[in-house]
Amino acid sequence: MGYVIAALGLVAGLAWNDAVKAFIETVFPAGSNTLQAKFLYAALVTLIVVLVTVYLVRLFKKEEE
């Protein structure tokens, strides 16, 4: 069951990847689609993943107690 959930998470992640890329292309038009925009995207995604991970770890620790 864990593999199925992981696969569905991957599909959802790829869908969000396309959505965020489209948003960044709107904010930074094609002429300015630079390395800076890509680093901004990577930093934003990393921040979101870290925040969600910290939240989930705390949530599961509370359930175990």
Contact between 34 and 28 (Cβ < 8 Å): yes
28: DSSP letter: S
**Where in the sequence is the domain holding 45, given as residue range(s)?**
2-64
pLDDT band at 3 (very low <50, low <70, confident <90, very high): confident
Q: What is the dihedral of CA 19, 21, 22, 27, to 10 degrees?
A: 130
Q: Is the pTM of this model over 0.85?
A: no
Number of domains the chain is built from: 1
Alpha carbon separation from 43 to 1, 6, 38, 40 (Å, rounded): 31, 23, 9, 5
- What is the structure's pLDDT at 33? 59
pLDDT tens per residue across span 7-56: 888 888 888 888 877 887 787 776 665 777 778 878 888 898 899 889 98
